[in-house]
Amino acid sequence: MHGIDKSTDSLILKKAQEVLVQAEMLVKYLEDHGFSEPDFTIHSAAYPVSREFDDIRIGITEAARDTILLANGPMNWLRTFFCHHHDLGAWQTALRFKYFTIVPLEGSMSVKAIAEKAGMDEDRLGRVMKLLASQQCFQEVDENVYRHTALSAFVAREETIEAAISFQADEMFEAASLTATSIQQAPYESTQSYSAFNTRFGVSPYQWYTTNPDRGARFAAAMAGLAKMNNDTAELRDSFPWGGLGKQTVVDVGGGSGHIAIFLANEFPDLDFIVQDINPRMLSEGPKRLDYSPVADRVSFMCHDFFQPQPVVTAGLFFLRQVVHNYNDEMSVKIFQSIASAMEKCSPAPILLINDIVLPVANTQPKVKEHHLRQIDIAMLNGYAAKQRILKEFAHLLKQADERFEIVKLHGNGVMGLIEVRLHQ
């Protein structure tokens, strides 16, 4: 066996060496921080949640992805990549027919028994399970007998995570298949009525969720699941000086179930929250949350359309999380205007805090990191004919809404973009 020549000119070897270097860093990080090494089993250790670990994880993924691309070449890469929608079809089936919760977390279950509970035939269920197992999602321990792996158990254990992947596998996957068709309908204008979602379902996601309340409730759960997946809540808590606001009311505009407001209320006892949303079903999910009761007297819910004048004029902070990325520029300007008209009446002068992805400018981030943000940008295109933005675009829209708006600080970046805006009087 030849040793690895570190001075090699081979690009493949250089990339593979980078994988090795990053893997050593990752293992060292785990050791230094008292974590056991994860594996594929249901008893796998938990992953650290930190920016530092994320950077190593992203570094290893970038190097491994390049190694895979170089080793496979375009033909093999394309052959696999262009079958990914069939992977999603299999996952969609497993989610819809509840395989994840039917298989017990401990022990194993036969395809026959899973099929009986799922209410579908054994042949197709077995084929879906075999595909999933080829991705380390479930393990076939005996012919047609499965048990959970770390990946499948992650879905089974947490309802909001299941919701977060299910709404993608259902309505968003169906919409995404019509991306090009939707653009063909209006090649030079990005408007909601020609979005991929509208092309598939005839109405915008929010109208659709209002008339499909079960899916609306699942969407609200999905938002909580996504926040958990991105570790958003802890980062949101730590990236902004909430504690320094004093006794204030925060209005969570378009706050959905209020999961963020409830989380922050638990962390910062001086703050009161008003969660506003147009969808009553989403609002009704908030009080059902386990973390709601300790803060029930400080978190209230209000049905409000953010295109109408903002009724709360006694707030210290207006919070706008993952809202304007659902709207095109013209509509986003209207949302900012309705908040500006309330801000000018509040005393002392309040803050507008926009919590949304702030896209990186070209070639400033590892490509795998940017890819994730770009996926969300195209998701916004498909769902809402909307977009994610770079900081300059936010600044431009705010000025269009009201000349007095000024971005005073960017508290977080990337997924956790946190833009502090003031309205100069």
Ligand X SMILES: C[S@@+](CC[C@H](N)C(=O)[O-])C[C@H]1O[C@@H](n2cnc3c(N)ncnc32)[C@H](O)[C@@H]1O
Active site residues: 325
Segment near ligand X (CB under 6 A); pick from 82-90, 167-175, 178-186, 321-329: 321-329
> Least separation, in Å, of the C-beta of 355 and ligand X?
7
The residue from 59, 254, 316, 350 that contacts ligand X (CB under 6 A) is 254
User: Which contacts (CB < 8 Å, 24+ apart) does range 398-405 have?
Assistant: 398/336, 400/329, 400/333, 401/332, 401/333, 401/334, 401/336, 401/337, 401/340, 402/336, 402/337, 402/340, 404/340, 405/336, 405/340, 405/352
**Which residues contact residue 73 at a Cβ distance below 8 angstroms, ignoring those fewer than 6 apart?**
none
Stretch that binds ligand X, among 108-116, 253-261, 372-380, 400-408 (CB under 6 A): 253-261
> Is 220 within 8 Å of 257 (Cβ atoms)?
yes
Nearest distance, CB of residue 212 and ligand X, angstroms:
13
Determine, following the binding rule CB under 6 A, whether residue 217 of this chain makes contact with ligand X: no
Q: Where are the alpha helices (DSSP H) in 273-366?
A: 280-285, 329-343
Q: Is residue 255 a contact residue for ligand X (CB under 6 A)? A: yes
Q: Which of 88, 278, 407, 410 binds ligand X (CB under 6 A)?
A: 278
d(CA 355, CA 229): 16
Distances (CA, A) of 27 to 16, 17, 32, 211: 17, 15, 9, 49
282 near ligand X, rule: CB under 6 A? yes
Contact in structure between 155 and 161 (CB atoms under 8 Å)? yes
Q: Could you give the residue ranges of the DSSP H alpha helices within 186-279?
A: 196-201, 205-211, 213-229, 232-239, 259-267
Work out how close the CB of 378 gets to ligand X at its nearest, in angstroms, rounded to a whole number: 15
Give the pair of three-digit tokens for residue 356: 């949304």
The answer to whether 326 contacts ligand X (rule: CB under 6 A) is yes
Residue range at the interface with ligand X (CB under 6 A); choices 138-146, 173-181, 190-198, 304-312: 304-312
Q: Which residue from 260, 339, 385, 421 is in contact with ligand X, where contact means CB under 6 A?
A: 260
**How many residues sit close enough to ligand X to count as binding (CB under 6 A)?**
18
Q: What's the token pair of residue 177?
A: 């298949």
User: What does the per-residue mask of binding to ligand X show for 167-206, with x meaning CB under 6 A?
Assistant: ---------------------------------------x
Interface residue with ligand X among 92, 182, 192, 322 (CB under 6 A) is 322
Considering the rule CB under 6 A, would residue 305 count as an interface residue with ligand X?
yes
Q: Does 286 bind ligand X (CB under 6 A)?
A: no
Q: Before 104, cis peptide (omega within 30)?
A: no
| Site stretch for ligand X (CB under 6 A), options 84-92, 190-198, 238-246, 300-308 | 300-308
> Is the separation of the CB atoms in 150 and 80 below 8 Å?
no
- The two structure tokens encoding residue 60: 């290893």
Q: Which is nearer to ligand X, 91 or 206 (CB)?
A: 206
Amino acid at 52: E
Does position 307 interact with ligand X (CB under 6 A)? The reply is yes
Q: Within 64-93, which residues bind ligand X (CB under 6 A)?
A: none
279: contact with ligand X by CB under 6 A:
yes
Give residue for tokens 């400080």.
298
Stretch in the footprint of ligand X (CB under 6 A) among 106-114, 147-155, 303-311, 399-407: 303-311
3-class state of residue 154 by DSSP: helix
Query: DSSP of 218-236, one letter per residue?
Result: HHHHHHHHHHHHTTHHHHH
How many residues would you count in the chain? Answer: 425
CB-nearer residue toward ligand X: 153 or 226: 226
Q: How far is the CB of 66 from ligand X (least distance, A)?
A: 33
Helix (H) or strand (E) holding 249: strand 248-253
Report the alpha-carbon distance of residue 275 to residue 187 in Å, rounded. Answer: 37
Contact 409, 358 (CB under 8 A): no
Query: Per the structure block, which two tokens stand in for 242?
Result: 């909430």
In whole angstroms, the minimum distance from the beta carbon of 189 to ligand X comes to 21
Q: Which of 66, 162, 171, 277 binds ligand X (CB under 6 A)?
A: 277
Q: Which of 137, 183, 221, 323 binds ligand X (CB under 6 A)?
A: 323
Chain positions contacting ligand X, by CB under 6 A = 206, 223, 254-256, 260, 277-279, 282, 304-307, 321-323, 326
